[in-house]
Amino acid sequence: MKKPDLKAFWKTKKKLVISVTALVLVAAIGCGIWYYAGHNSAEPVYVYPFNYVGMTEYWGDSQESYGPVTTDKIQTIYLTDTQTVTEILVQAGDAVKKGDLLMSFDTTLNDLALERKRLDVEKVKLRLEDAKDRLRQINSMKPMVIPQVDEEAEEDENLGTALKGNYQISTQKAYDGSTKEKALICWIRSDASLSDDLFEAIRQKAEEFQNANARKEASSASAVAEDTQPQETAPAETQAQETVPPETQPQETEPQATEPEETEPQETQPEESKPEETQPEGTEPEQTQPEETEPEYIDVDSFYVVIKATQGNMSLGGRTLWQGMKVTRTGDNDFSFKFVDITIADHMIPDGDEAEETPEIDYGSGFTAAQIAEMRSEQEKTIKDLEFQVKMAEAEYKIMQTEMDDGNVYAEIDGEVVSVLTEEEARMTMQPILKVSGGGGFYVEGFVSELEKDNMQIGMEVTVNDWNTGMTYTGTVSSLGDFPTNDGYWSGMGNPTASYYPFHVFVDGSADLQEGRYVSVMYSASTAENGVYLQNPFLRTENGQSYVYVLGENGKLEQRFVKTGKSLWGSYTEIVEGLSPEDLVAFPYGKNVKPGVAAVEGDMSNLYG
C-alpha cells in the first residue's frame, strides 16, 4: 500500500483539519438557510435576482469605531420611558444662566429597577471573565504535530492522491450521519453534481453505520447484563438427597429375596422413581444465560453530511467547497436537502491512510497550530467586544442614576434655549424635549488602528451613527492622538492585537446627540467601489475556469464563463466580466442543473428554508 507523503502533508497541514465555524462559506450564506429540493429531471431550476445573491457596491477601506458623546457649550435633554413631564419653565428663544431650573418631571424608576440595571452590568462582567478563562484554555492547548520527514525525500507536487471516481464517502463509523456532530463527509469531484444516486449512496452508508453502531451498543449492554447475572447454587436439601441412597439400598433389596412374587411390582419401580428424578428439588437448577436481543433495524430517511470538493480533486488540495447539509428521502430514490451549519473537524482520510500511520502523528488537542491561532484571535475579538459592552452598560447605568435625583433639570451652561418640544412630540420623533446652546457642539471620541492611522487626516469627514435614535450625522476629525491608548481598546473591526490611537470628531450643534451615550463613527480613506460581487456558493470553478448558471434565452438555463477579480472577506468574489446585476442566477449544484434545462424565477421563499 502506498504510504502518504508526510512532507507534502506537512506543507499543507493548515488545510488538513479546518473547523467548520471558521469556514467563510457558511458565513457567505448569512442568517438564512439556502434550500434546494431535487425531484425529477422534468422540474425546472430556480434562478434568483442578482440582488438576492450579490451586491454592486462596498466601501473597500471602511472602518468603524465606537465612543461616548461629550458636549461643548450645548445641552440636550431626552425623556426616558419612565419619565413624565410635570412642568417646562422655559420657551424657545429664552436666555438662561447656568443653574437655572429648566423643567421638572416625575419618574416611575425605582430602586429595584436601578438595582436590576446594576446586576445587568455585573452579568456582562461575568461573561467577560468567562471569555478570558476560555482564552487561557486556548493558550494552553497543545497543537497537533505532524512529524518532519527526510528533507531529501522526493516532493509530492500533486498534494496527496487524486480522487478515484466521482465521489468518496468517509469511512469512520463513529460519524454515521445521525446528528450534525456525527455528520458524514462526501468528497466529490469539482465538476460533479449532487444527484439522487449520490444521496442514495450516502444514505446507504449512513444506514450501514447507524445499524452497526446500534448492534455494538446492544452487544455492550448485553455484556454488562451478563456480568451482573446472579450465581445460582443447588438447594441444601438436594445435596442431602444425593447422600441418602447408599444407606437405604439394603432395605429395598431385602424383601426381594424372600418374596419372589413381589418382583413383578419391582419392575415398575423405576417408573415410579422417574418423577422423583425430574423433580426440581432433586436436581441442580439449569443456569440460564441472558438472551441477547437483536436491535430493531434502523431505516434511515434523513441524515447529515458535509459535501466537500478540493482543488484539482487532490486529497490535500485547497478546499473549493465545504457545505453542511441535512438530506431527506422524500420517495424512492428521491431526495431533498437544505444547507445547515455543521461544526465538525475534517475526519475524512481521503488518501486511504491505514491505522499504522496514525501513531506517527501527535494529535495533541486535535487542532493545528494555525487553528489554535485562529481560535485565539476570535476569542480576543470576543473579549474586546464584551469589554465594550461593559462600557455601554455602565454608561446606561450612570444615566439612570442621574434620573433618580430630585426630578428637576437645571441649565448646565449659559446660553439660549433653541428648541422646546411637547412630551408627545419628543417621544414620537425621538428628539430632545429641550435643547440649550451656547454656540458649541458635540464631540465623539474614537480610536483608529495603527494600520489605518495614516489614512486619517484632521478635517476629514466621517459619519456618526446614533444607535438610540437611528439618526446619522456628518462630523469632522478635530484631533488625532500621537500615543496609543492603554486600555486595550478594540473597535470591533480589524486586528484586535494592533495598537489603537485616540481621535476626536466634532459634530455641530444642529445634531441631536445625548451626552454619555455611545455612538459609532464610520470613516473611509476611499470612496465606494462599484462592481459586481457574487456570493461564493453561486460560483463554480473547474480546471481554473470560473462559471455561473444564469437564465438564458427562451427561459433555459445557460452556463456562462466569467472573469473573476478580488475576494471580499472570503464570502464574495468580484465578477469582472460575464455577469451583470440584471442577470438571474441559479445555485450551481444539483442533478437538474445543466445547460438547456427549463428555469423559472424564484423568490425568497424558495431561497430560504
Query: How many angstroms separate the CA atoms of 267 and 275, rounded?
Result: 15
- Residues 65-113: pLDDT tens digits? 888 999 999 999 998 888 889 999 999 999 999 999 999 988 887 778 8
Q: Grid coordinates standing for 469?
A: 435614535
Q: Count the alpha carbons within 13 Å of 173 in the hemisphere toward its beta carbon.
A: 11
Query: How many angstroms separate the CA atoms of 179 and 472, rounded?
Result: 46
CA dihedral 115, 116, 118, 122 (to 10 degrees): 130
306 pLDDT more than 80: yes
Instruction: Kindly provide the residue ranges of all beta strands, DSSP E only, lying in 238-377, ordered along the sequence.
Output: 302-310, 319-331, 334-339
Q: Name the residue with higher pLDDT: 531 or 595.
A: 595
Report yes or no: 473 and 464 within 8 Å, Cβ to Cβ. yes
Task: Kindly list the structural domains of the chain, giving each domain's residue range(s) and its CATH number in brackets, ordered by start.
Answer: 6-18+142-215+298-366 (no CATH), 46-58+530-607 (2.40.420.20), 63-105+407-523 (2.40.30.170)
Query: What average pLDDT does the chain have?
Result: 76
Those residues whose C-beta lies under 8 Å from the C-beta of residue 154, and which sit 6 or more positions away, are: 5
Give the Cβ contact number of residue 75 at 10 Å. 24
Residue-level pLDDT at 529 = 56
313 pLDDT more than 90: no
Residue-level pLDDT at 421 = 93
Residue-level pLDDT at 560 = 92
Average pLDDT over residues 301-327: 85
Residue-level pLDDT at 109 = 77
Please report which confidence band the pLDDT of residue 38 belongs to, taking 50, 70 and 90 as the band edges.
very low
Residue-level pLDDT at 114 = 84
Residue-level pLDDT at 503 = 92
Nearest one of 513, 516, 434 to 470, comparing CA atoms: 513
Average pLDDT over residues 297-302: 91
11 pLDDT more than 60: no
358 pLDDT more than 60: no
Q: Name the residue with higher pLDDT: 14 or 54.
A: 54
Q: Grid coordinates standing for 368?
A: 493545528
45 pLDDT more than 70: yes
Alpha helices in 140-295 (DSSP H): 196-227, 236-243, 245-258, 263-267, 269-278
Residue-level pLDDT at 588 = 86
Residue-level pLDDT at 590 = 77
Residue-level pLDDT at 413 = 92
Please report which confidence band the pLDDT of residue 145 belongs to, taking 50, 70 and 90 as the band edges.
low
279 pLDDT more than 80: no
% the chain with pLDDT above 90: 23
| Most confident region among 227-231, 292-296, 388-392, 568-572 by mean pLDDT | 388-392
151 pLDDT more than 90: no
The β-bridge partners of 66 are 520
Query: How many angstroms separate the CA atoms of 435 and 418, rounded?
Result: 6
Residue-level pLDDT at 364 = 67
Residue-level pLDDT at 183 = 93
Please report which confidence band the pLDDT of residue 430 belongs to, taking 50, 70 and 90 as the band edges.
confident
568 pLDDT more than 50: yes
Please report which confidence band the pLDDT of residue 155 belongs to, taking 50, 70 and 90 as the band edges.
very low
Residue-level pLDDT at 97 = 94
231 pLDDT more than 60: no
The one-letter amino acid code at 100 reads D
Please report which confidence band the pLDDT of residue 24 belongs to, taking 50, 70 and 90 as the band edges.
very low
Lowest mean per-residue pLDDT among 110-114, 128-132, 298-302, 537-541: 110-114
By CB atoms closer than 10 A (0-12, 13-18, 19+), residue 68 is middle
Give the Cβ contact number of residue 318 at 10 Å. 12
Residue-level pLDDT at 277 = 47
Residue-level pLDDT at 18 = 35
Residue-level pLDDT at 362 = 58
Please report which confidence band the pLDDT of residue 247 belongs to, taking 50, 70 and 90 as the band edges.
very low
Q: Name the residue with higher pLDDT: 166 or 494.
A: 166
Lowest mean per-residue pLDDT among 156-160, 274-278, 301-305, 590-594: 274-278
Residue-level pLDDT at 242 = 46
Lowest mean per-residue pLDDT among 362-371, 487-496, 522-531: 487-496
